[in-house]
């Protein structure tokens, strides 16, 4: 068992220290001790880390970064490991680079600052800089100050994947809840449209769950309601996560084409049949290829595909096969995720007998390189990036896209540059103010509570943007 203690000062940086300890000791759940234990009690722990303090640094951010650098260097020396993202434990590393670019810093200055402040590897520095530059170009026409984006959440799926930690309800148990849910969602969308009636709408994103788990008629009602409530005249992107191939039909694709949906996802996660069966996807690679073909036939020219690296039983060979088969389909963008196992999904995976990779998995970096090379071979460049806790290989999620096919909403949600009005169970709205403040209002996750408390959810939005 790994433990840590703050012997010389307050424990204000517990979250950051815990994150670094978990990264250097994957699979562990570090325990914070109130004080240094006596010799006998210390035998209960494999390692006890004494967190240093820097009382001479009065600025909290400087003090925190100094603590993290000291922790990193000591643990790196102890374990012989380095972390690709250095001391960064947050989910938005490119946001730091973007800020400096906007302030006029040169590339050399940014590299020096990020290297010295956060101990980032040269490879990840280069990736962050490339993505930040691409983001700036893509977002050049967005109404940051006066505009907004809309997210609508559909928390239903054909089945629940073992690794999933999102708000999601399998249709086999909750099919009778879809119509009542939509009626409540329409109520929230109506109130949201009134709040933003004088502001330009840049992007719409319908996510989940799996939005195409709805019937064609339900999907048509949802898209028609959004079109009637919101002014889509200045819309730059309208995404629907089709996601699961076993939820895609020609009829649903035609419904989306009848509305201004410009971008969809058809997500394999893996192109290996054994993996799909193990993680509960309940569809074959042949179904995936057929769904993709149908989408092309119906005129969709901006199709994204998601894959996950580090799935149980998969290594570089399996990822090479997935990339080989995806290249034959020629999607317009590819989102590469490093598996991040949350507590609830870990329990499900263990119950299914899956061997769960952790942040220390040694071949995840090789798999990431395979995916990056495959994306480059399809003419794609990286355009957005984010990180999560407990990611395989301590790496990142990266979106790659062909020119003109990047997902604008993905950048906006990660860089936190624009307000996002989110409607639906388990969603979080985000108000981004001109002075840099960011405030949030969340909707409850439970379907029954969402329906019963919708007036409260609406009031939260009104208060957020009051």
Q: Is the dihedral of CA 323, 158, 188, 460 positive or negative?
A: negative
Contacts of 207 (CB under 8 A, 6+ apart): 151, 152, 153, 154, 239, 241
Helix, strand or coil for residue 16? helix
**Would strands 333-338 and 397-401 be described as parallel, antiparallel, or unpaired?**
antiparallel
Which one, of 279, 282, 281, 283, lies nearest residue 349 by Cα?
279
Question: Is residue 466 domain-resident?
Answer: no
Phi-psi region of 282 (alpha: psi -120 to 50; beta: other; left: phi over 0): left
- CA 375 – CA 336 distance, rounded (Å): 9
Question: Is residue 193 domain-resident?
Answer: yes
Question: Is residue 209 domain-resident?
Answer: yes
- CA 45 – CA 21 distance, rounded (Å): 14
Which one, of 21, 16, 27, 15, lies nearest residue 3 by Cα?
21
Question: Is residue 462 domain-resident?
Answer: no
CATH code for the domain in which residue 354 is found: 3.80.30.20
Q: Do residues 92 and 156 both lie within one domain?
A: no
pLDDT along the chain (466 residues), means of 10: 90 92 87 91 91 92 96 96 90 91 94 96 96 94 91 87 63 88 98 96 95 97 98 97 91 98 95 86 88 97 95 90 97 92 48 47 82 98 89 85 97 94 97 93 96 97 95
Q: Do residues 194 and 323 both lie within one domain?
A: yes
CB contact burial 278-301 (16+ within 10 A = b; e otherwise): bbbbebebebbbebbebbeebebe
Q: Do residues 196 and 103 both lie within one domain?
A: no
| Predicted TM-score of the model (pTM) | 0.90
Q: Do residues 372 and 247 both lie within one domain?
A: yes
Q: Do residues 66 and 111 both lie within one domain?
A: no
- CA 11 – CA 28 distance, rounded (Å): 20
CB contact burial 411-450 (16+ within 10 A = b; e otherwise): bbbbbebbbbbbbbbbbebbbbeeeeeeeebebbbebeeb
Structural domain that includes position 127: 86-141
Q: Do residues 26 and 108 both lie within one domain?
A: no
Question: Is residue 368 domain-resident?
Answer: yes
Domain-terminating residue out of 63, 81, 99 = 81
Q: Do residues 352 and 385 both lie within one domain?
A: yes
List Cα–Cα distances, 34 to 1, 3, 31, 249, 346, in angstroms: 16, 10, 10, 57, 29
Which one, of 359, 401, 366, lies nearest residue 380 by Cα?
401
Neighbouring C-beta atoms of residue 339, cutoff 10 Å:
28
Per DSSP, helices labelled H in 234-311 are: 250-258, 273-278, 285-297
Q: Do residues 228 and 191 both lie within one domain?
A: yes
Domain-terminating residue out of 141, 161, 188 = 141
Give the length of the chain.
466
- CA 211 – CA 153 distance, rounded (Å): 8
Query: Is the distance from CB of 304 to CB of 335 less than 8 angstroms?
Result: yes
Question: Is residue 77 domain-resident?
Answer: yes
Q: Do residues 100 and 148 both lie within one domain?
A: no
Question: Is residue 463 domain-resident?
Answer: no
Which one, of 264, 270, 267, 220, lies nearest residue 246 by Cα?
267
Domain-terminating residue out of 81, 98, 117 = 81
Looking at residue 465, its pLDDT comes to 95
Q: Do residues 47 and 161 both lie within one domain?
A: no
Residue with the two structure tokens 């939509």: 182
Looking at residue 339, its pLDDT comes to 85
Q: Do residues 390 and 420 both lie within one domain?
A: yes
Looking at residue 287, its pLDDT comes to 92
| Total domains in the fold of the chain | 3
Q: Do residues 191 and 310 both lie within one domain?
A: yes
- CA 186 – CA 450 distance, rounded (Å): 12
Query: Is the distance from CB of 154 to CB of 425 less than 8 angstroms?
Result: no
Question: Is residue 464 domain-resident?
Answer: no
């Amino acid at each position: 068992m790994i433990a840590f203690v703050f012997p010389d000062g307050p424990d204000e940086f517990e979250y950051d220290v815990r994150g670094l300890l978990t990264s250097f000791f994957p699979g562990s759940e570090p325990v914070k001790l109130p004080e240094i234990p006596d010799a006998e009690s210390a035998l209960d722990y494999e390692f006890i880390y004494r967190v240093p303090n820097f009382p001479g640094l009065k600025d909290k951010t400087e003090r925190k970064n100094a603590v993290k650098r000291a922790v990193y260097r000591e643990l790196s020396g102890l374990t012989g490991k380095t972390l690709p993202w250095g001391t960064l434990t947050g989910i938005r590393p490119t946001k730091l680079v973007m800020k400096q670019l906007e302030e006029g810093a040169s590339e050399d200055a940014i590299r020096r600052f990020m290297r010295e402040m956060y101990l980032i590897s040269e490879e990840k520095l280069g990736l962050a800089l490339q993505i930040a530059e691409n983001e700036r170009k893509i977002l050049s026409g967005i109404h940051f100050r006066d505009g907004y984006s809309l997210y609508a959440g559909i928390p239903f799926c054909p089945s629940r994947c073992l690794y999933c930690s999102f708000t999601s309800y399998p249709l086999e148990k909750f099919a009778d809840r879809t119509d009542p849910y939509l009626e409540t969602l329409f109520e929230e969308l109506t109130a949201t449209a009134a709040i933003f009636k004088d502001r330009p709408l840049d992007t719409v994103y319908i996510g989940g769950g799996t939005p195409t788990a709805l019937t064609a008629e339900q999907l048509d009602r949802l898209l028609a309601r959004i079109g009637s409530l919101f002014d889509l005249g200045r819309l730059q992107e309208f995404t629907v996560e089709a996601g699961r191939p076993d939820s895609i039909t020609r009829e649903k694709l035609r419904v989306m084409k009848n509305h201004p949906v410009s971008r969809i996802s058809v997500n394999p996660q893996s192109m290996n049949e054994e993996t799909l069966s193990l993680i509960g996807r309940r569809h074959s690679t042949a179904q995936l290829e057929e769904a993709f073909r149908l989408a092309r036939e119906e005129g969709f020219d901006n199709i994204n595909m998601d894959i996950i690296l580090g799935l149980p039983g998969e290594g570089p060979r399996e990822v090479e096969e997935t990339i080989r088969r995806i290249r034959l389909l020629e999607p317009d963008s590819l989102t590469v995720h490093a598996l991040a196992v949350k507590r609830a999904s870990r329990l499900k995976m263990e119950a299914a007998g899956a061997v769960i990779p952790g942040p220390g998995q040694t071949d995840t970096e090789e798999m990431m390189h395979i995916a990056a090379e495959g994306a480059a071979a399809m003419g794609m460049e990286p355009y957005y990036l984010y990180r999560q806790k407990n990611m395989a290989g301590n790496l990142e999620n990266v979106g790659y896209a062909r020119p003109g096919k990047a997902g604008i909403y993905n950048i906006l949600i990660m860089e936190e540059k624009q307000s996002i009005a989110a409607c639906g169970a388990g969603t979080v709205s985000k108000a981004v103010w001109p002075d840099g403040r960011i405030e949030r209002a969340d909707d409850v996750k439970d379907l029954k509570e969402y329906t019963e408390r919708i007036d409260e959810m609406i009031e939260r939005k009104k208060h957020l943007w009051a």
